[in-house]
Amino acid sequence: MSGFAKPLKIALGLAIIAGLIIVPMNFNRYGLFILSQWAVMSIAAMGLNLTLGYAGQVSLAQGAFVGIGAYAAAIMTTHGWPLPAAMLVAIVLSFAVGWVLGYPALRVQHHYLAFVTLAFSTLAFLVFRNESWLTGGIYGISNIPRPHIFGFATNKPLPFYYVCLGALAIVSLAVWWLIRSPWGRAFMALRENPLRAQSLGIDTRRYTLMAFAIGSALGGVAGALYAPLTQYIDPVPFNLSLSLDLLMMVIVGGAGFYFGPFLGAMIAVLLPEWLRFTEGYYLMLYAIAVMLLLIWSPTGILGILDRYMAERRTKAASALRAVAKSRLETAQ
Amino acid sequence: MSNLFDLLVAGLATGAIYALVAVGFTLLWQTSQTINFAQGEFVMLPAFLMLAAMHAGAPFWLAIILGILLSMILLGLGFKLLLVDPMMRHGVLPLAIATMALAIGLKEAVKQFFSAEASPFPSIVPTGDVSIFGHAVSLQSIGVLVVAILAVVGLTTLLNRTSLGHQMQAAAQNPTVARIIGVPVERMILLTFLINAFLVALASLLITPIYLAKFSSGEVLGQAAFIAAIVGGFNQVRGAIAGGLLIGVLDNLAAAYVSTQYRAAVPMIFLIAVILFRPQGLLGRAEERTV
């Protein structure tokens, strides 16, 4: 993204943020629900991008962490706890479970790791469905309250959309800071060459577990917002396909790119809605679009942009070289 | 004890089908590093192709042949040319994601163009029971076992006893050297895709009479085949067979003796244990770990 001039980038960023705040003001209920869902899924995908895109650990369990966060929030808020307290519990719980799930990653990599996390995802779904004393089983938990933030009730769709957007902003800033911190650099070292990272004195064990735990904690945050957003949860949305969807979001947006999850979540949440006019065909078209995109650019949408920028830079550089060369020649 | 015997037979019959699907799965992995997340949907589709042929007026036997041929064209040739070939050089993950999208696409296509409801499917084996050692065993289970065993024996004979099979193995184990000694590697890879398509079509033919034809039936099946492939050994055909049978039996025993609610958990816990303590699978060779 370094092809743009800095002021231009800042202006573009501010315009997008302003647009996200102002444009939805006259959206209907459904439009706001979809946008809130985009914000929530962006948070979860950002967590997975940290685990997969930056630290290089494949996880097919992000959906399970969204589920853990959602159930923690639903159970606590329906028992009278405020949402921030529930969110804290959701974060701590997902962080702890994510840490434990990171242990297999110390032993096995790549597709094996994918399958361990896939198995975990199925196990979590079974617990949500079967432990009905806690989770309400297949009947789920209904009447999940929406929070009061600084005394404002957020029961209406628009205020709650701002809650989701605010959470997205906080998480985005935190992740921005994290990937620029020594930790983020350690994650990338882990992805690029674990052996070299280790020989440079990076505690790869700790950072692998950390990458899983932080990524999972963000899944928990997303879940803790998802529960009050839908106000009713049952086990079905948290089955394996959510994990697969989140993985698809990260890859389609561009794994390892900061803005990848935002774009990926936009495609996964909004594209099917835009295609709804095609009625029964919309998911089919969505699937075809994803396949075509990946055939065109396996590194996702931002991969296309990245390639284009790199090409332009090389062109600019070779143009400069040509100029310099001709100057040298005329000087001779 | 008679209960245990019945469970074992039923488990072996489902396990044999899992094995067919898992063998195809490992073949694709070995020759082209394709993790096919749509493998379950690949099993779901041929039954609908056969049903479509029957709706068009074809007799059952002709519908079977047409269904298998169409699967080989669509799920073998088409899958390889349109999705795997353009993506293979970009690594395992993008292709795996693309197959996830393919799974969604196939499910939705069947739902849209055929039906969202489950359709009955005729069985190639007559219904009824025979008595073995004083136990009533359904002909269906026996038929499934026999066909699956024949397919697996045929495949292992092809792989181990024929020149073609040796060429396929060479292409899978070391494509560079295989190319040097004159093995047409590309054609061998295509052949494994065709074999996979044939196996899933066969599995479809065997399992659909039991579980009905439904657009979503691939999900469970695909997962069972994954687990079977990993448990047995990702890089071994006989591992996938053993894994399939084991998971089939385990699944049936778990349903009877553990709890119906957590029956799906037993193979999963088994899978995690195998990956953690013997990642190459029960019968697999250890793979070089890529750092």
Domain assignments of chain B as residue spans, ordered by start: 2-277
User: Rounded distance, CA B99 to CA B86, Å?
Assistant: 13
Q: Which of A123, A131, A286, A294 to probe by mutation at the B interface, max B CB count within 10 Å?
A: A294
Q: A142 in helix, strand or coil?
A: coil
Question: Residue A243 pLDDT > 80, yes or no?
Answer: yes
Query: Which of A72, A123, A121 minimizes the C-alpha distance to B261?
Result: A123
The residues, any chain, with a CB within 8 Å of residue B219's CB and separated by 6 or more, are A240, B40
A323 and A286 fall within a common domain: no
Higher-confidence residue of B132 and A96: namely A96
What is A24-59 written as a DSSP string?
Answer: GGG--HHHHHHHHHHHHHHHHHHHHIIIIIIT----
Confidence of residue A241 (pLDDT cuts 50, 70, 90): confident
Distance CA A183, CA A106 (A): 18
How far is residue A243's CA from residue B223's CA, in Å, rounded to a whole number? 14
For residue B276, list chain A residues with Cβ-Cβ distance below 8 A.
Answer: 104, 107-108, 116
Q: How many CB atoms are closer than 10 A to CB A6?
A: 8
Residues of A in Cβ contact (< 8 Å) with B102: 287, 291
Instruction: Give alpha helix (H) positions in chain A.
Output: 6-22, 29-48, 62-78, 83-107, 110-130, 132-135, 157-180, 182-192, 194-199, 204-230, 240-253, 260-274, 282-296, 301-331
pLDDT of A292 reads 92
Could B87 and A281 be called an inter-chain contact, meaning their C-beta atoms sit closer than 8 Å?
A: no
Q: Amino acid letter at A84?
A: P
3-state SS assignment for residue A181: coil
Name the residue facing B265 among A126, A255, A294 (closest C-beta): A126
Q: Tell me the chain A residues in contact with residue B275 when contact means C-beta distances shorter than 8 Å.
A: 104, 108, 112, 115-116
A283: chain B residues, CB-CB within 8 Å: 104-105, 108
B104 phi, psi to nearest 5 deg: -60, -45
For the beta carbon of residue A198, count every other beta carbon within 10 angstroms: 15
Q: For residues A212 and A245, state if they share a domain.
A: yes
Q: State whether residue A281 sits within 8 Å of chain B by CB.
A: yes
Domain assignment present for A261: yes
Residue A115 near residue B228 (C-beta atoms within 8 A) = no
Whole-number pLDDT of residue B130: 77
Asked if residue A302 has pLDDT above 60, the reply is yes
In chain B, residues with a C-beta closer than 8 Å to the C-beta of A287 are 101-102, 104-105, 108
Q: Which residue is closest to A197 within chain B, CA to CA?
A: B291
Is residue A56 domain-shared with residue A114, that is, in the same domain?
A: yes
pLDDT at residue A319 in the model: 85
pLDDT band at A4 (very low <50, low <70, confident <90, very high): low
Q: What distance in Å separates the CA atoms of residue A2 and residue A330, rounded to the nearest whole number? A: 33
**Rg of the Cα trace of chain B?**
19
Nearest-Cα distance to chain B for A31, in Å, is 24
The model's confidence at residue A204, banded by pLDDT at 50, 70 and 90, is confident
Q: For residues A3-31, give the mean pLDDT.
A: 85
Burial of B181 (C-beta count, 10 Å sphere; 0-12/13-18/19+): exposed
**A122 — phi, psi (to 5°)?**
-65, -40
CA distance B109 to A50: 34
Examine the domain organization and report whether A193 and A320 are in the same domain.
Answer: no
- Rounded to an integer, the average pLDDT of A221-242 is 93
Domain enclosing residue A307, as ranges: 299-332
The region that residue A157 occupies, defined by phi over 0 for left and psi between -120 and 50 for alpha, beta otherwise, is alpha
B284 DSSP 8-state letter: P
ipTM of the complex: 0.86
Per DSSP, the three-state class of A173 is helix
Identity of the residue numbered A221: V
The 10 Å Cβ neighbour count of residue B141 is: 21
pLDDT digits (tens, 9 = 90+) for A253-291: 999 899 999 999 998 898 888 887 877 788 888 899 889
Same domain for A320 and A215: no
Highest mean pLDDT of the ranges A8-12, A238-242, B199-203, B268-272: B199-203
B97/A251 CB distance under 8 A: yes
**Protein fold of B2-277:** ABC transporter involved in vitamin B12 uptake, BtuC (1.10.3470)
How far apart CA A191 and CA A58 sit, in angstroms, is 11
Residue with more model confidence, A278 or A234: A234
Please state, in angstroms and rounded to a whole number, the distance separating the CA atoms of residues A261 and A247: 10
Q: Is residue A13 in a domain?
A: no
Which residues on adjacent β-strands are paired with residue B119? B213
CB pair distance less than 8 Å for B104 and A247: no
Beta bridge partner(s), residue B132: B135
Regarding whether A28 and A109 lie in a shared domain, the answer is yes
Residues of chain B with pLDDT under 70: 1-2, 235, 285-291
* DSSP designation for B283: S
- A6 vs B: CB within 8 A: no
A291 and A307, same domain (yes or no): no
End-to-end CA distance of chain B: 50
C-alpha radius of gyration, chain A, whole number: 22
Alpha helix segments (H runs only) across chain B: 2-32, 39-55, 60-71, 85-87, 92-113, 139-161, 163-173, 175-180, 185-211, 218-232, 237-257, 265-277
Tell me if A5 is assigned to some domain: no
CB atoms within 10 A of CB B185: 19
How many domains does chain A fold into?
Answer: 2
Residue type, B288: E
Q: Is A190 exposed, middle or buried (0-12, 13-18, 19+ CB in 10 A)?
A: buried
DSSP string, B218-267: HHHHHHHHHHHHHHH-TT-HHHHHHHHHHHHHHHHHHHHHT-STTTTHHH
Overall average pLDDT of the A156-170 stretch: 92
Token pair in block for residue A312? 């332009």
Q: Which residues contact A163 (CB under 8 A, 6 or more apart)?
A: A146, A147, A149, A154, A225
Q: What is the pLDDT of residue B60?
A: 92
Distance CA B96, CA A50 (A): 19
DSSP A146-160: PPEETTEE--SHHHH
Q: Does the CB of B116 have a partner CB in chain A at under 8 Å? A: no
How many inter-chain contacts (A to B, CB under 8 Å) are there?
A: 117
Residue of B nearest to A253 (CA): B94
Cβ-based burial of A327 (10 A; exposed 0-12, middle 13-18, buried ≥19): exposed
Confidence (pTM): 0.87
Contacts of A291 in chain B (CB under 8 A): 83, 98, 101-102, 105
pLDDT on residue B289: 40
Residues of B in contact with A268 (CB under 8 A): none
How many angstroms separate the most distant Cα atoms in chain B? 58
Give residue-wise pLDDT tens across range A210-226. 989 999 999 999 999 99
Range among A37-46, A98-107, A192-201, B133-142 with highest mean pLDDT value: A37-46
Mean pLDDT over each residue of chain A, to the nearest integer: 89
Pairing assessment for the beta strands B129-132 and A148-149 based on DSSP bridges: unpaired
